[in-house]
A = this chain, B = another copy of it.
Amino acid sequence: MAANPLACAVCPVRDRAACSALDEQQRSDLTRLGVHRSLKRGDVLFHAGDDGDHCATLISGALKIAQVDADGHEHILALIHPAGFVGELFAPVAHHDIVALSDSFLCMFPRRQYEELIERYPALGRALLRRSSEDLLESRALMALMTGRTARQRVAGFLLAMANAASESPCHPAARFDLPLTRGEIAALLGLTIETVSRQLTKFEKVGVIKRSGARGVELLDPARLGPLAAG
């Protein structure tokens, strides 16, 4: 957890994050508000019930939006990727836990002052609206992935989604990547159990669709066959 002056000039998400809607002059106002913060895997950024007095932009790494139900089981409601925005501008307290899935790096801002900047610079508000709309689409895609689909379809769909997220170009999936999630987290995301996820992965490996290296590494040997597995 470190705090440094921001360095937008070399920021890897400077032209994808919400702040990219601002010009140099406007961004310097934002710079004065924000500080960097780094998280290690497992670190909690916000806790459900916390005062929602900060928000942030993810620069690198990955976060999960999670919730623990009455039975003590964790449900993962969404993943946040670099350039994503974190924080609830309109809720008095946080609804969910925000936890780092891998070592991560963020720009953090005091919420109140960030909101003032939205009023001062409408382009920032429009950029956030765009991000929010994209998050909504992604959330609905995740719902479609999970609703009324078998374990095989969910795991196949998840692998495709992770391959696309790992790739720089959004059109073609990466052939080889590391999962930022444990089996338990995959299960919590897909609404399955650890054992079922594990069994599906072994099945995929047995039929030659993927190859596992260690617990996290995945290589897509036959991406073309994964699509049909996810659909049918």
Binding site for B on A (CB under 8 A): 65, 67, 69-71, 73, 75, 77-78, 88-91, 95-96, 118-119, 122, 125-126, 128-130, 132-137, 139-140, 142-144, 146-148, 188, 191-192, 231-232
B69, B90, B147: the one within 8 Å of A144 (CB): B69
Chain B residue nearest to A190 (CB atoms) is B147
With a cutoff of 8 Å between Cβ atoms, the chain B residues found around residue A90 in the complex are 130, 133-134
A and B contact pairs by CB, cutoff 8 A, 29 listed: A69-B144, A69-B231, A70-B231, A71-B231, A71-B232, A75-B143, A75-B144, A75-B148, A78-B140, A89-B129, A95-B137, A96-B140, A118-B126, A119-B126, A122-B122, A125-B126, A125-B129, A132-B133, A136-B139, A139-B139, A139-B140, A139-B143, A142-B143, A143-B143, A143-B146, A146-B147, A146-B191, A148-B188, A148-B191
